[in-house]
Amino acid sequence: MRLTSRRGILGRRILGVAGIAVVCVVVAAAAHCQAGAGGQAAPGGQTQPYGAAASAGKPLMSDQFFKNVQVLKGIPVDQFLGTMGFIAASLSVNCTECHQAAGRGVVRDYAADNPKKQKARQMMLMVKAINQANFGGAHRVTCWTCHRSDTQPPETPSLAVQNGVVAERDPNDIEVPEEPIPSPTADQILDKYIQALGGAEQLAAITSLSAKGTYSGFDTDLGKVPVEVYAKSPGQSTTIVHRSEKAQNITTFDGHNGWIAMTNTILPVKSLTGGELDGAQLDAEMFFPVGIKKYLHDFRVGFPPTSIDDHLVQVVQATAPGGTRVKLFFDAKSGLLLRVARFAETPLGFNPSQMDYSDYRDLAGVKVPFHWTLTWTDGRSEFEMTDVQPNVPLDAAKFGEPMLPKPATP
């Protein structure tokens, strides 16, 4: 996973930081890459009251919030930002490459046109036309297909690549084995996982968790800050990152809806939709994995052997209720879950992200990971728990839509 571009580290200010309860596949500083639409815009171009779209039960759309959106109209803001992240990862660039005003820090100018943005629109329409004409609209050709982390796609075959060591295929790739390799069944792998954690009966006895520890990410300049995590069965979770005394990142999933909130951004509360919402639910469900067979469906096995951190793993691919495909990687020896990869759909292709679990410890008769790492198209966040308490009473309000104070208007 590329965490730095060829032109330096991607921007570090992110619209919403994804905590344990969500996969946030946004390009760094994506919230700042375009100014808001016309009218009485708040700082950064916001044209609706904070939380207005979520309160109305409808996600905020890209062309409602950002100015000069021409190709990516009519999609939720989180999917729009995920698409920006997809482009950035495919070309190994950051916002300043196309939104040239970003280098001057002039937010109101981010929507201004320039040749690079015009070319990007042409490329998006070209990709759409190719897929529509040849693959029934499926995402078979994407930005990544040609660019492979370079702004200029190569034109000639590489003899060095052809005659060099064959690179291993990314185990996260979405794939369905045409000729499955002999493997335990999905039921056998998942049953071994449940037993490795302590057994179904012991797992079912834990219905809530409260945890404290530290968080580090690009939004903290990789410095460690306090974090609180709350989870309640079935499938509710909230993560609160305390960036400072007055600044927080909050990620919440209430069992049906999800949000990311971040102090001092142009969109303080962002509703989650599609693959982002699926990811939020998946992470919340994984706090209580005894129900994993009921939650996921369409299980597939038989993938080529692969390893994670020198651990041979068994791979199970499945589908989340919203249609998002996920891959689960279990340590072949211990049976414990090491990674969950998932793929949120954007208009240009699938945005990958992954949650890696480690440092399993005994807690109330079951094993619980005390360390997890979230990696997405723009960076990585680390969570280290120091105190986890099972079966604590948690009020339902803790999992509602996050509330943040409005930023002061300059």
Contact in structure between 126 and 142 (CB atoms under 8 Å): no
Concatenate the DSSP letters of all residues of 43-67 into one string. Answer: GGG--S-TTHHHHTTSPPBHHHHBS
pLDDT given for residue 373 in this prediction:
95
pLDDT given for residue 164 in this prediction:
73
Distance between first and last Cα of the chain: 38
Hey, what are 11's tokens?
């921007």
3-state helix, strand, coil in the chain (%, to 5): 30, 30, 45
Q: What is the CATH number of domain 4-157?
A: 1.10.468
Please determine, for residue 396, whether its predicted confidence score (pLDDT) is greater than 60.
Answer: yes
Concatenate the DSSP letters of all residues of 154-212 into one string. Answer: --S--HHHHHSPPPPPPTTS----SSPPP---HHHHHHHHHHHHT-HHHHHT--EEEEE
Q: Which of 33-42, 240-249, 363-372 tops mean pLDDT?
A: 363-372
Three-state secondary-structure class, residue 129? helix
pLDDT given for residue 51 in this prediction:
38
Please determine, for residue 399, whether its predicted confidence score (pLDDT) is greater than 80.
Answer: yes
Least confident of 149-153, 251-255, 334-338, 352-356: 149-153
Cβ within 8 Å of residue 250, ≥6 positions away:
19, 238, 239, 240, 241, 259, 260, 261, 262, 402, 404
53 phi and psi, to 5 degrees?
-65, -45
- pLDDT tens by residue, 192-232: 999 999 999 999 999 999 999 999 998 888 899 999 999 99
CA distance 358 to 373: 9
What b/e string do you get for 109-142 counting C-beta neighbours within 10 Å, with b at 16 or more? ebbeeeeebeebeebbeebbeebeeeeeeebebb
Please determine, for residue 93, whether its predicted confidence score (pLDDT) is greater than 70.
Answer: yes
**Cis previous bond, 234, omega within 30:** yes
* Torsional sign, CA 192, 197, 202, 205: negative
Hey, what are 178's tokens?
């045409």
Average pLDDT over residues 8-13: 32
Q: Which band of pLDDT confidence, cut at 50, 70 and 90, is reported for residue 9?
A: very low
Please determine, for residue 25, whether its predicted confidence score (pLDDT) is greater than 70.
Answer: no
CA distance 353 to 316: 16
Please determine, for residue 56, whether its predicted confidence score (pLDDT) is greater than 70.
Answer: no
CA distance 312 to 330: 8
Left (φ > 0), alpha (ψ -120 to 50) or beta: where does 341 sit? beta
Angle at 340 between CA 28 and CA 145, to 5 degrees: 55
Mean pLDDT of the chain: 80
Question: Taking Cα atoms as reference points, which of 98, 91, 95 lies closest to residue 145?
Answer: 91
Residue ranges covered by each domain of the chain: 4-157
Q: Which band of pLDDT confidence, cut at 50, 70 and 90, is reported for residue 406?
A: low
Helix (H) or strand (E) holding 227: strand 225-232
- pLDDT tens by residue, 266-305: 788 889 998 889 889 998 999 999 999 999 999 999 988 8
- pLDDT tens by residue, 328-346: 999 999 999 999 998 888 8
Contact in structure between 269 and 50 (CB atoms under 8 Å): yes
pLDDT given for residue 129 in this prediction:
93
Q: Which band of pLDDT confidence, cut at 50, 70 and 90, is reported for residue 55?
A: very low
Average pLDDT over residues 20-44: 31
pTM for this predicted structure:
0.79
Contact in structure between 203 and 290 (CB atoms under 8 Å): yes
Helix (H) or strand (E) holding 279: helix 274-285
Contact in structure between 20 and 242 (CB atoms under 8 Å): no
pLDDT given for residue 218 in this prediction:
82
Average pLDDT over residues 238-263: 91
Residue 165, class by beta-carbon neighbours within 10 Å (0-12 exposed, 13-18 middle, 19+ buried)?
exposed
